[in-house]
Amino acid sequence: MVRTDDLRFDFHEVRRGSVSVLRQVRACCKAGTLHAVVGPNGAGKSTLLRALAGLDPSTGSILLGEQTLHDAGPEIRARALAWVPQVSSIPEGISVAHSVSLARAFRGESRATVHEMAHRALVRCGIEDLAARTFSTLSAGQRQRAAIARALATEAPVVLLDEPFSALDLRAGLLLDGLLQDLARTGSIVLVVLHDLGHAARIADCIHVLAGGTLVASGPPDEALSAAILTKVWGVHTRSGTPCGPFELAGPP
């Protein structure tokens, strides 16, 4: 198991342009745990991950163990945090293997070492057969898996994924479930934005519920997605008594 320190963040405010999106969001993510970030549209889920990755301006603090990341430079952040956005910005003409290899460019390693780590990441994501393909030839789901392989190649202790399942087929989604759980079991901290509450409850150790730009619940799935929270945040209830649904409208949240 790799040694990963706990991740703690305390955002006083996070802005997107001139808009204040998140306020007073504070949490601790233990090493070796998988965290799902959920909430209605516009709750600030993607913004939270972007703030952790240093892409959106914020006030507050981010600590990985005793190391402060809030004002850290890009190389320090790249060693600590791997970021997988909803839509990849990787150039169309670059090959999958080259893209994944570039994720380790800042380490100053030998070409053989970089190639080996990139290959391992491709194999873990089940896309080693796409290594020579350029991004322009990939489907949306294949691009997403390549972006995830790129994040894995960094070996960063914290992995941030923004709706990574949205373009994946059934098999690829199940493979990613296992991959994220395996990352957590081996000591990493994984934060993933999800819309499917049942999915979040099945795979996550801890769920963080955002609504209206604030954190309204945080804890194990049965606590964070209690009947009261489902009604308050989404305006729904479930006949099964669990966050896995099926859901029915319960009036406006």
CA distance 61 to 47: 15
Q: How many domains does the chain have?
A: 1
Q: Percentage of residues in the chain with pLDDT exceeding 70?
A: 98
Q: Which long-range CB contacts under 8 A does 100-109 form with residues at least 24 apart?
A: 100/146, 100/149, 100/150, 100/153, 101/153, 102/150, 103/150, 103/151, 103/153, 103/154, 104/153, 104/154, 106/75, 106/78, 106/79
Instruction: Give residue 33's identity as a one-letter amino acid code.
Output: T
pLDDT value of residue 1: 37
Task: Determine, yes or no, domain membership for 227.
Answer: yes
pLDDT (mean) for 43-69: 93
pLDDT tens by residue, 180-193 = 999 999 999 999 99
pLDDT value for 240:
79
Answer yes or no: is pLDDT of 245 > 80: no
What pLDDT, in 10s, does the model give residues 73-85? 888 888 899 999 9
Judge whether 107 lies within some domain: yes
Q: Are 190 and 204 in contact (CB under 8 A)?
A: no
CATH of the domain at 17: 3.40.50.300
Please check the confidence at residue 95 and state whether its pLDDT lies above 90.
Answer: yes
Domain membership flag for residue 2: no
Residue 87 has pLDDT above 80, yes or no: yes
H/E element, 84:
strand 81-84
pLDDT at position 4, please?
55
Q: What are phi and psi for residue 79, nearest 5 degrees?
A: -75, -25
Instruction: Work out the pLDDT band at 2, boundaries 50, 70, 90.
Output: very low
Spatial contact of 157 and 5, defined as CB atoms under 8 Å apart: yes
Give a yes or no: residue 1 inside a domain: no
151-189: per-residue pLDDT in tens? Answer: 999 999 999 999 999 999 999 999 999 999 999 999 999
Is the confidence at residue 237, as pLDDT, over 90?
no
Full residue range of the structural domain in which residue 189 is found: 7-249
Local structure of 223: helix, strand or coil: helix
Answer yes or no: are the C-beta atoms of 208 and 230 closer than 8 Å. Answer: no
Highest mean pLDDT among 37-41, 72-76, 240-244: 37-41
In contact, 129 and 145? CB cutoff 8 Å: no
